[in-house]
Each structure stands twice: as C-alpha cells, then as structure tokens.
Amino acid sequence: MHRIHCGIVPPHLLTRLAALRDPRLSVAARAARHALLELDPVLQVRSEALRAPVRRGSAVVGTLTRRISDAGGREELPGNLVRAEGAPATGDSAADEAYDGLGATYRLFSEEYGRSSIDGAGKPLEATVHYGAGYDNAFWDGERMVFGDGDGEIFGRFTASLTVISHELTHGFTQYSTNLEYEGQSGALNESLSDVFGVLVEQRALGQDAAAASWLVGAGIFTAHVEGKALRSLEAPGTAYDDDVLGKDPQPATMSDYVDTASDNGGVHINSGIPNHAFYLAATTLGGPAWKGAGRIWYDAVLNGGIPSDCDFPTFAKTTQDAAGKRFGVESREADAVADAWSRVGVPV
C-alpha cells in the first residue's frame, strides 16, 4: 500500500535546493532531488488502506511504549531495534533524541488531555533514525516516524529539533482523530495541527508559558550556513528564514495574503501559516501555559467530531469557537480570545 509521507521539509524548499548548480552545494542539491522522489505518495489522495479508525474517546489506557530502530543509512524500514522502552540511552544522539521526543509528545496528550498515545488506545510509538544517506527530511509514514540525518550543507539531523519530532508524530494523532484530507485548506489545517501541537510539546517540556516561547517549528535543523531561525514561525509567519539559497519564507499570516496554488497539494505547507497565527494570537492573548488554554480548546475541537475530512478554515474556526464556549462558557474570555484571533487573520467565525 502507499504510505503518506507527511514530510517536515515542504516541497518548495526541496525544489529550490534541487535546482542548485553551485558546486559548493552539490551534496545538498543531490539530497534534495532524492528527497523529492520520496514525496510522490503525498501528492496522491490518501488511500483507503491508510485510513485509520477514528477514536475520539479520551480514557487513558495502556502505558508509554517506544521502539527506536536504526536504518543504518539504508532506505529500508524498520531497521534494527536499538532502544526499547525503559532501556538506557544508546549514546547515539539521533536515537536518544527520537526516544525522548516520542516520550514528550506522548506525555502532552496523556497527562494534559487524557489520550492514550496518538490513537487513543495505547498505540506503541515507533521511530527509525539514520534513514538513507544524507536524507533531507523527516516524515510520518502512517505507522512510524522516520528521520534522516540531513545533507550537512543546508540541513543537519532532523531529530535535533523536538518540534520536528512532535510535529510529525501529531500527523498520527490527526490520522486517528479527524484524518483531514491532505490538500487545500483541510491539508493546511492538517499541517497546522502538527505545528500547533508540535510547539506545545516543546513549550511543555521546557516549562515555557506563551509569552516566553519561541513559537518556532524546526529550530536547530538548519546548518550555520543558513540565514534563518527555523522552517516556520507561528508568531510571525513569513519570517522564519530569508536566505540566498532557500529564498524567503512564503507563509502568509492572514487571508489577505492567502496563496492560491496547485503545488504542494494546494499550498498545505504555506497557507497553514494562517491557522497557525490564529492559534498564536489566541494563546498569547490568554497567556500562561498555552497547552492548558488555547491548546485545550484546539484539542477539544479536534475530538468533538465536528470537523469533516474536507474541513475549510471557517468551519474549523467555528469548531474552535464552539469548543471554547463549551469548556469555558460562551461569554468567557477564552471564547472571546478565539473569536478575536480568527477575526484578526481574516477568517470568519
């Protein structure tokens, strides 16, 4: 069956790198051309074989179970098991970062939201590191996390960023909760949910409130040669990088700059900046730990069953507004903050 590769590096970046003719960046160009081939499954509609049963219940069952495997530079999954749940650190940075990142993601969903693993039923969390030779991406394939080590010229190892790990694993949560179609606005919401819960995992792990957080996705995966902080910014979409090689971050923050495109499944990695920014505005307006305020609202919205697989931005905005009203009251400051956030990005509630 086809596996959907929801990669952290968007196609527009890989395409730009693949076209490079600078001999000083030949490794990066070759790595990008190869990584683009791996994105082909994401350009197809999700196959029925990949669709997971939706589990909206929140009862905690089971315990955290992680298994980290090493592909040893090959593109074969799962690779050799190198660390199982409870085993000591391996000394391999990628394997140990993946192990810790899976744990941090599990704990957010379990301890804050009462969900047992990404599927709500205690699914073991599996990851493979050292996938391919200089592989320029990390992805969720429908069953496991897969991490490349990067080309060394533009990208370093992808496990170096907790938000990369948690972003990709959240694609699994979406698969088992709403299974948003990976195209157009529903695809942008799919990507946005991964960014939102990705940063919440990091903020919780670091003990940061909304004001102290960086709100960056993918900080730490660029090499020192790149003029950029991260792949995306929820605080200021369009400012994460501005580099001679990579170009400028194309994400819009509001609907006035919405990008109408046929590439990247209708701009799923680009237009996700709009719902991302709405979440940031709601979270910072409410203050405190974002995973307890806006994060709780977004989680409730996903789990309440009101989001169709082809959900657009206004439908999702209304669902979050309803979730805020149900949990905190229709005239609460939380409900007001959510409504105001969507209004400020140009999405009607």
Name the more confident of 30 and 81: 81
CATH number at residue 313: 1.10.390.10
Domain presence at residue 205: yes
Model pLDDT for residues 115-168, shown as the tens digit of each residue: 999 999 999 999 999 999 999 999 998 899 999 999 998 999 999 999 999 999
Domain presence at residue 349: no
Query: What's the pLDDT at 79?
Result: 97
- Are 146 and 47 in the same domain? yes
Query: What's the pLDDT at 193?
Result: 97
Percent of the chain with pLDDT over 90: 77
- Are 30 and 135 in the same domain? yes
Model pLDDT for residues 211-224, shown as the tens digit of each residue: 999 999 999 999 99
Query: What's the pLDDT at 56?
Result: 52
- Are 86 and 150 in the same domain? yes
Domain presence at residue 1: no
- Are 169 and 206 in the same domain? no
- Are 195 and 66 in the same domain? no
Model pLDDT for residues 264-279, shown as the tens digit of each residue: 889 999 999 999 999 9
- Are 297 and 333 in the same domain? yes
Find out whether 318 and 349 touch, Cβ atoms under 8 Å.
yes
Angle subtended at Cα 243 by Cα 239 and Cα 248, rounded to the nearest 5 degrees: 45
Percent of the chain with pLDDT over 70: 91
- Are 245 and 316 in the same domain? yes
Cα 136 to chain centroid, rounded:
16
Confidence of residue 210 (pLDDT cuts 50, 70, 90): very high
Domain presence at residue 159: yes
Query: What's the pLDDT at 59?
Result: 52
The residue range of the domain holding 59 is 6-175
Choosing from 135, 152, 175, the residue where a domain stops is: 175
Domain presence at residue 326: yes
Per the prediction, the chain carries an average pLDDT of 90
| Residues noted as catalytic | 168, 269
pTM value?
Answer: 0.92
Confidence of residue 101 (pLDDT cuts 50, 70, 90): very high
Domains identified in the chain, total number: 2
- Are 340 and 193 in the same domain? yes
Choosing from 175, 194, 219, the residue where a domain stops is: 175
> In terms of residues, how long is the chain?
349
Residue 202, CA distances (Å) to 15, 69, 166, 205 in order: 29, 23, 8, 5
- Are 193 and 64 in the same domain? no
